[in-house]
Amino acid sequence: MSKALPTRADNYSQWYQDLVVKADLAENSAVRGCMVIKPYGYAIWEKMQAILDKMFKDTGHSNAYFPLFIPKSFFAKEASHVEGFAKECAVVTHYRLKNDGKGGIMVDPDAKLEEELIVRPTSETIIWNTYRGWIESYRDLPLLINQWANVVRWEMRTRLFLRTAEFLWQEGHTAHATAEEAIEETRRMLDVYSEFAEKTLAIPVLKGVKTANERFAGALDTYCIEALMQDGKALQAGTSHFLGQNFAKAFDVQFTNREGKKEFVWATSWGVSTRLMGALIMAHSDDQGLVLPPKLAPTQVVIVPIYKGDDQLKLITATVDKIITELKAKNISVKYDDRDTHKPGWKFSEYELKGIPVRIAIGPRDLENGTVEVARRDTKEKSVMQLTDLSIKIEHLLEQIQDNIYRRASDFRETHTFKADSYDEFKAKLDEGGFVMAHWDGTTETELKIKDETKATIRCIPINNKQESGKCIYTGNPSTQRVVFARSY
């Protein structure tokens, strides 16, 4: 079976969609707009979960779980929140089916819910209604909760991992005694996401604040990390929101402070989703398939024997068993593919497609010489290594691959980040693909006009942004700083 992919240069979108399917990451389901995450794709997501979950717990957070269904009346309590999600909500109106008398089934009209339920698009409302019973005094604060869950946002145009009607994510929801503590939490979790993106996903990200037009519905400020994909489009890789007291007031969540006075608590929420799978694929992979950072590869090393007959295989396997033991002792995940149903060349192509960082080939001649052939996925370079201290060499090689994948993505971003001082220059740079740093007059009106005319949005106002006087590229009005524009997913 051919595994050939379209090239990124010829059709980036088709390359992405074909790669997700052919690498056994995910596929479209029978439910329009939803996906099935296959075992190999889910194994990558599980590694993301495990690493992030430890980072959350190391910063003092605990996991909980809240209902999938949210009473419709809860959404009405926070006006900007309901307005932001109204068009994406799936609504449950009935709770029973019955026979229609014609051999089919129908919704039972007598089983109408007293109050319609929203299928969770995000959990602020149900969680803050719950927190009202958990928070009484300053001693109950801060409340630092995270949940791993699925959410539903009824998207019309979908793409595997990047935008689906149902997706997996984590959402943190925290309560604090002061605005300063809540803002500190918002920034801390943004730093957690940034560290995860750069050190685990090997993707460089820009940290910044969203404009008022782009911020989360119901937030006072939205912080984000923005990544650049190989086609020059931006991807929002994570967000952290300072919610102020909006939800506390909507759900009457108050606490008694140290002076014995009642105050509304201050809130944050923050999340990343399976969209990170899309970022991982699009930031690093090539025309031959996935390129996975070793820290996220379900299998970091695959060993393929080259042999003729059972006798040669037995001799090779005896050596391979020792290699496997040594690699596992260093917590390196390894697979030995001794199947006789596929030739070595087929296996090489398959593991290249699946992005396994290191491939080891070993045959009779290698046994005589005490060597193996080692191929790295990121550069496709091959080398011969002695069996002596092989596990140490592979451990160092995996570290080099992780660093190289990050450096390559960082170099790409650097060469695809531009400054533009006029609208014509701005549009030309957008067509080249990448981040465009340009002056903006700070108004939503100008922001929306630029978006309407160019399909580019302000991805963020970078944290600690350099202040410089200039003129807005669109209106010519004064500006104090450049912001980051890009076309995006």
Name all domains of the chain by residue range, CATH numbers in brackets. Answer: 12-69+125-284 (3.30.930.10), 301-398 (3.40.50.800), 416-486 (3.30.110.30)
Which residue, chain included where needed, has tokens 């996935």? 290
Look over the chain and give the mean of its residue pLDDT values, rounded to a whole number: 97
H or E stretch covering 262:
strand 262-264
CB 358 within 8 A of CB 376: yes
Report the residue count for the chain: 489
Return all residues near 375 (Cβ < 8 A) that are at least 6 apart.
348, 358, 359, 360, 361, 381, 382
CA distance 179 to 244: 7
Burial class (CB in 10 A: 0-12, 13-18, 19+), 313: middle
**In sequence order, what E strands does 288-336 have?**
301-305, 334-336
**In sequence order, what E strands does 60-218 have?**
62-63, 69-71, 90-94, 97-99, 105-107, 112-119, 143-152, 166-176, 206-209
Residue 387 neighbours by CB distance under 10 Å: 18
Residue type for position 90: A
Nearest in space to 35 (alpha carbons), one of 56, 21, 14:
21
pLDDT value for 1: 44
Q: What is the DSSP letter of 138?
A: G
CA distance 146 to 102: 47
Phi, psi of 361 (to 5 degrees): -115, 135
Per-residue pLDDT of the chain (489 residues; tens, 9 = 90+): 456 899 999 999 999 999 999 999 999 999 999 999 999 999 999 999 999 999 999 999 999 999 999 999 998 898 788 788 889 999 999 999 999 999 999 999 999 999 999 999 999 999 999 999 999 999 999 999 999 999 999 987 889 999 999 999 999 999 999 999 999 999 999 999 999 999 999 999 999 999 999 999 999 999 999 999 999 999 999 999 999 999 999 999 999 999 999 999 999 999 999 999 999 999 999 999 999 999 999 999 999 999 999 999 999 999 999 999 999 999 999 999 999 999 999 999 999 999 999 999 999 999 999 999 999 999 999 999 999 999 999 999 999 999 999 999 999 999 999 999 999 999 999 999 999 999 999 999 999 999 999 999 999 999 999 999 999 999 999 999 999 999 999
Q: In the structure, how many helices (H) and strands (E) does the chain have? A: 14, 26
CA distance 183 to 245: 12
Q: Which long-range contacts (CB under 8 A, 24 or more apart) does 408-417 make?
A: 408/284, 408/378, 409/202, 409/203, 409/204, 409/283, 409/284, 410/204, 412/228, 412/230, 413/204, 413/228, 416/228, 416/232, 417/228
CB 453 within 8 A of CB 475: no
CA distance 370 to 390: 11
Burial class (CB in 10 A: 0-12, 13-18, 19+), 278: buried
Q: Find the Cα–Cα–Cα–Cα dihedral 280, 284, 289, 293, rounded to 10°.
A: -70
* Report field, pTM of the whole predicted structure over 0.85: yes
